[in-house]
Amino acid sequence: MTTTVFPAFRTTDAAATIELLITLGFTERLIVRNEQDPALVDHAEFALGDTGGIMFGSVRNDGSALDAVGGGSIYVVVDTEREVDRLYQEIVDLGHAIVRPVATQEHGGREFDFRDHDGNSWGVGSYRGA
């Protein structure tokens, strides 16, 4: 049995979230847009590699825990340190706030951290864990 974890969150700007995910190497699996306002996303799924992925939707103001934007923390693993450096520059160019600049870590791998337009924390690195 394969177990997969899909972080899930809400966003105030679906277009910016989609642009960010594509920049980080995610591919679209499913987007269900709101019938009354197609700029809003009721549910979206984006894949990363063979088993990784993420789900999101637009803020609904329904009082659910997911509607509290900006509290997520997501770490994206990429194949090489060169890819980390390339993505770092792309994230800078997109204007996201860098929290921790790109650097080689003592525990292995190369990483950086940033915050997205909703205040979610993202880490990108080549470290796959022990």
Residue 2: predicted pLDDT:
58
Distance CA(94)–CA(108), nearest Å, equals: 27
Cut 0.95: pTM above it: no
Residue 118: predicted pLDDT:
94
The answer to whether residue 39 is domain-embedded is: yes
Residue 128: predicted pLDDT:
86
Structurally, how many domains does the chain consist of?
Answer: 1
Beta sheet of 41-48, edge-to-edge order: 8-11, 52-58, 41-48, 27-33
- pLDDT in 10s for each residue of the chain, 130 residues: 455 778 999 999 999 999 999 999 999 999 999 999 999 999 999 999 888 899 999 998 888 777 778 888 899 999 999 999 999 999 999 999 999 999 999 999 999 999 999 999 999 999 988 7
For residue 26, give the nearest of 76, 60, 96, 86 by alpha carbon.
Answer: 76
Residue 49: predicted pLDDT:
86
Domain hosting 19: range is: 8-58+69-125
The answer to whether residue 64 is domain-embedded is: no
Q: What CATH number is associated with residue 19? A: 3.10.180.10
Q: At 23, which helix (H) or strand (E)?
A: helix 14-23
The answer to whether residue 130 is domain-embedded is: no
The answer to whether residue 120 is domain-embedded is: yes
The answer to whether residue 45 is domain-embedded is: yes
The answer to whether residue 113 is domain-embedded is: yes
Residue 124: predicted pLDDT:
96
The answer to whether residue 1 is domain-embedded is: no
The answer to whether residue 63 is domain-embedded is: no
Distance CA(91)–CA(64), nearest Å, equals: 30
Phi first, then psi: give them for residue 37, nearest 5 degrees.
-140, 95
